[in-house]
């Protein structure tokens, strides 16, 4: 910074810090940008881009074998215009543009962008405060989960009404694909978005994330991607399942481009979010917080971010190449032009299986955080928990090909991948052992968060055991493509991931919202959803063992009974989730104000006031002990007893 630009100083945490020149009011153009301008910018630029593309591309022009290119070019232009226009309208480009013009942010600018004194308005803006971003993520997650859940209800309605056809085959297929990718996105951000963003910086004694503007960018890119996904329902639908195998998907409607843009944008979001979380954990821990004193939640988030950082680009690359195959007649995946179907499958599943652990690990470490609090005992074998996380991260990249046992790709590799898949159950078993060991002989304070732990463990054991069956090549040859597989991965992704996220929300709700959760109503919703979950997917196991194929609209009457039962269970899940959501919303709006530390936790995030101040800590904390020292004797207690015995022997034991 040149001396000419320093025109004033600002008091930052008690120190006078030189400041660049202030141009106008703090925040500048960001004062005028919000979600409304983002929608106007996105819709406006999308309309302009579509109009220009339609004018420039001749009707019926085609450069590919399968479909006319004109509608595709127009739709792609609309998607790109939407992405750029929305990002510009929310203020994502303001920081880089200011940097290009040499106008560095002042402390007043940074405070405005963090939402200081903006009240509720800060939740509708490009706000850099990690706590605001965490709440924004929670709302976005709820909407995406609700969208995917609605599609699930429609799917189960179709499969439950076995005597007639409710939806057309094309729309049914599009519901299957859209539901799948919507729920995958929702589960990935379920903990990594709301809880990691809000809680982790406070947990490690930091005032914010390492890169606050990237934090806000990751959130709003999820919004962009979600609306790209919704648009596919109006452009023909995703009719090839959430995996959209190529080159089959190239023959589909223009909606495939919406899917591809969804993945490309979401992968950018996960990339910047992963870097931000990892750098924050590595560089911003409080003084004295060595790795042995770092909460296990931080390890889990770091591991999940690392898996996302290396794995998501494979998925992104596959969709970029599929897009160029469709629009510009490249031949990455078209065998007729020298491409390879197996190339797509490998790229897709190089993300598709680490993604399972990106969902499961955060949901598991949330349980690790709340269990010591409600059992008032240290986490069983902290080192075992770390070893389990490290083992899962290390092996997660060596299991992807078990999804391709039946494709004919590299048959000699089937058994090595069977071995690696079964081996990953060992570090996952470490994590389960930590949970059971912590529960052993614990005096449980029975509240909703700890009760949710029992539900997650139950679901994870069923999902894990059935996964071992599917990892075995001969068994998979029979089970592949059946409803048994659907039941298995729902037990892992929803049974462990979603219910773990619900446990985390119940635990951190007072700190995130400043209100006390209505646990009675929330518990009714939680256990209603849990009961419906068992009914739905146990029946799917039965249908799968009978041989019912997945992703089909019409099936033999042999499968009627399990489908009726599954549909009843699905509606029970929906009812339970609505009750749980109602408890969250009503408590958020009118619940009792929460104290700073309602559960008596020892970790740093509970030592701040509620609501948490803008900078989290007036004075940065110094950590002197491990995070789970519940029930550990005071090191000075013995000395005090000796002093008491010397001075007042008759009163020893009564103090």
Residues 491 and 616 in one domain: no
Q: Would you say residue 655 has pLDDT above 90?
A: no
Residues 186 and 332 in one domain: yes
pLDDT at 632: 65
Q: 635 falls in which pLDDT band (50, 70, 90)? A: low
**Where a domain ends, among 552, 567, 590?**
590
Of 301, 255, 309, 267, nearest in space to 281 by CA: 301
Global pTM value: 0.92
Residues 513 and 627 in one domain: no
Percentage of residues in the chain having pLDDT higher than 90? 69
- 């059935």: which residue's tokens? 466
| 25 within a domain of the structure (yes/no) | no
Q: Would you say residue 628 has pLDDT above 80?
A: yes
pLDDT at 55: 87
Collapsing DSSP states into helix, strand and coil, what is residue 481?
coil
Question: 643: which 2 tokens?
Answer: 């002093």
Residues 140 and 170 in one domain: yes
CA separation for the pair 351, 313 (Å, rounded): 8
CA separation for the pair 75, 300 (Å, rounded): 39
Q: Would you say residue 610 has pLDDT above 70?
A: yes
Of 451, 455, 456, 449, nearest in space to 503 by CA: 449
| 118 within a domain of the structure (yes/no) | no
pLDDT in tens, 285-294: 999 999 999 9
pLDDT in tens, 434-488: 999 999 988 899 999 999 999 999 999 999 899 888 988 999 888 888 999 999 9
CA separation for the pair 206, 617 (Å, rounded): 8
The whole-number average pLDDT for the span 168-190 is 94
Task: Work out how many domains the chain is built from and give that number.
Answer: 2
CA angle 471–184–317, rounded 5-degree value: 85
- 């379920």: which residue's tokens? 190
Q: Would you say residue 22 has pLDDT above 80?
A: no
- Structural domain including 643 reads 604-651
| 441 within a domain of the structure (yes/no) | yes
The whole-number average pLDDT for the span 528-536 is 97
| 31 within a domain of the structure (yes/no) | no
| 121 within a domain of the structure (yes/no) | no
Q: Would you say residue 506 has pLDDT above 50?
A: yes
pLDDT in tens, 32-43: 999 999 999 999
Burial of 48 (0-12, 13-18, 19+ CB in 10 A): middle
pLDDT in tens, 339-370: 999 999 999 999 988 999 999 999 999 999 99
The whole-number average pLDDT for the span 110-122 is 91
Q: Half-sphere exposure (CA, 13 Å, Cβ side) for 456?
A: 30
pLDDT at 406: 87
| 20 within a domain of the structure (yes/no) | no
Residues 486 and 622 in one domain: no
Beta-carbon contacts of residue 408 (< 8 Å; ≥ 6 apart): none
CA angle 509–189–461, rounded 5-degree value: 85
Question: 470: which 2 tokens?
Answer: 């599917």
pLDDT at 653: 41
CA angle 307–309–314, rounded 5-degree value: 95
Q: Mind giving me the DSSP string for 269-307? A: HHHHHHHHHHHHHHH-PPBT--GGGS-HHHHHHHHHHHH
pLDDT at 601: 92
Residues 529 and 385 in one domain: yes
**Where a domain ends, among 551, 567, 590?**
590
CA separation for the pair 339, 324 (Å, rounded): 13
Residues 623 and 482 in one domain: no
Please say whether the beta carbons of 300 and 364 come within 8 A. yes
Residues 577 and 610 in one domain: no
CA separation for the pair 3, 621 (Å, rounded): 34
**Where a domain ends, among 551, 568, 590?**
590
User: Looking at residue 320, which CATH number applies to its domain?
Assistant: 1.20.210.10
| 638 within a domain of the structure (yes/no) | yes
Residues 222 and 171 in one domain: yes
Q: 639 falls in which pLDDT band (50, 70, 90)? A: low
Residues 553 and 619 in one domain: no
- Cα 344 to Cα 333, 348, 550: the distances in Å are 6, 6, 21
Residues 615 and 583 in one domain: no
Q: Would you say residue 566 has pLDDT above 80?
A: yes
Burial of 336 (0-12, 13-18, 19+ CB in 10 A): exposed
Average pLDDT, the chain: 89
pLDDT at 100: 87
The whole-number average pLDDT for the span 233-256 is 90
| 362 within a domain of the structure (yes/no) | yes
Residues 400 and 302 in one domain: yes
């Amino acid at each position: 910074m040149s001396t000419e630009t320093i025109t004033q100083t600002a008091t930052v945490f008690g120190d006078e810090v030189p400041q660049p020149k202030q141009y106008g009011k703090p925040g500048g153009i960001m004062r005028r940008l919000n979600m409304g301008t983002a929608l106007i910018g996105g819709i406006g630029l999308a309309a302009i881009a579509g109009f220009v593309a339609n004018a420039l591309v001749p009707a019926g022009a085609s450069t590919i074998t399968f479909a006319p290119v004109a509608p595709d070019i127009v739709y792609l232009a609309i998607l790109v215009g939407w992405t750029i226009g929305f990002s510009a309208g929310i203020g994502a480009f303001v920081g880089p543009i200011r940097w290009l013009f040499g106008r560095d942010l002042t402390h007043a600018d940074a405070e405005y962008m963090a939402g200081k004194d903006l009240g509720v308005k800060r939740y509708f803006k490009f706000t850099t405060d990690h706590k605001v971003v965490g709440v924004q993520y929670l709302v976005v997650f709820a909407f995406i989960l609700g969208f995917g859940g609605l599609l699930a209800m429609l799917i189960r309605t179709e499969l439950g009404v076995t005597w007639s056809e409710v939806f057309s085959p094309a729309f049914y297929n599009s519901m299957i694909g859209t539901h799948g990718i919507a729920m995958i996105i929702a589960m990935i951000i379920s903990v990594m978005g709301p809880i990691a963003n809000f809680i982790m910086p406070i947990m490690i004694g930091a005032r914010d994330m390492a890169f606050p503007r990237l934090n806000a960018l990751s959130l709003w890119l999820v919004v962009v991607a979600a609306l790209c996904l919704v648009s596919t329902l109006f452009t023909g639908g995703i009719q090839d399942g959430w995996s959209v195998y190529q080159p089959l998907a190239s023959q589909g409607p223009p909606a495939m481009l919406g899917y591809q843009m969804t993945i490309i944008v979401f992968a950018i979001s996960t990339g910047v979010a992963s870097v931000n979380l990892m750098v924050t954990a590595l560089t911003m821990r409080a003084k004295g917080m060595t790795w042995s004193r770092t909460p296990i939640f931080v390890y889990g988030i770091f591991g999940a971010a690392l898996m996302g950082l290396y794995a998501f680009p494979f998925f992104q690359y596959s969709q970029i190449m599929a897009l160029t195959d469709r629009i510009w007649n490249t031949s990455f995946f078209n065998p007729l032009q020298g491409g390879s179907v197996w190339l797509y499958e490998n790229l897709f599943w190089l993300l598709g299986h680490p993604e399972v652990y990106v969902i499961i690990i955060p949901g598991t470490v949330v349980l690790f955080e709340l269990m010591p609090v409600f059992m008032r005992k240290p986490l069983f074998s902290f080192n075992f928990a770390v070893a389990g996380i490290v083992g899962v991260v290390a092996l997660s990249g060596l299991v992807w090909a078990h999804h391709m046992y039946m494709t004919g790709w590299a048959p000699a590799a089937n058994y090595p991948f069977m071995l690696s898949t079964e081996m990953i159950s060992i570090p996952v078993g470490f994590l389960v052992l930590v949970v059971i060991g912590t529960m052993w002989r614990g005096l449980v304070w029975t509240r909703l968060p700890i009760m949710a732990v029992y539900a997650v463990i139950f679901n994870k054991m069923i999902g894990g055991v059935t996964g071992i069956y599917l990892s075995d090549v001969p068994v998979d040859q029979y089970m592949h493509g059946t409803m048994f597989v659907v039941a298995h991965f729902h037990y892992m992704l929803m049974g462990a991931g979603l219910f773990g996220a619900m446990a985390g929300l119940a635990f951190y709700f007072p700190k995130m919202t400043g209100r006390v959760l209505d646990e009675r109503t929330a518990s009714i919703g939680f256990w209603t959803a849990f009961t419906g979950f068992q009914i739905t997917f146990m029946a799917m196991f039965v249908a799968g063992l009978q041989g019912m194929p997945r992703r089909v609209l019409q099936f033999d009457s042999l499968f009627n009974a399990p489908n009726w039962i599954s549909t009843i269970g699905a509606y029970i899940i929906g009812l339970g989730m609505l009750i749980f959501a109602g408890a969250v919303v009503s408590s958020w709006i009118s619940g009792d104000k929460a104290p700073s530390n309602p559960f008596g936790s020892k970790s740093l995030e509970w030592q701040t006031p509620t609501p948490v101040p803008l900078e989290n800590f007036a004075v940065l904390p110094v950590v002197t002990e491990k995070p789970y020292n519940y029930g550990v004797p005071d090191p000075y207690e013995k000395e005090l007893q000796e002093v008491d015995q010397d001075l007042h022997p008759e009163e020893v034991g009564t103090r």
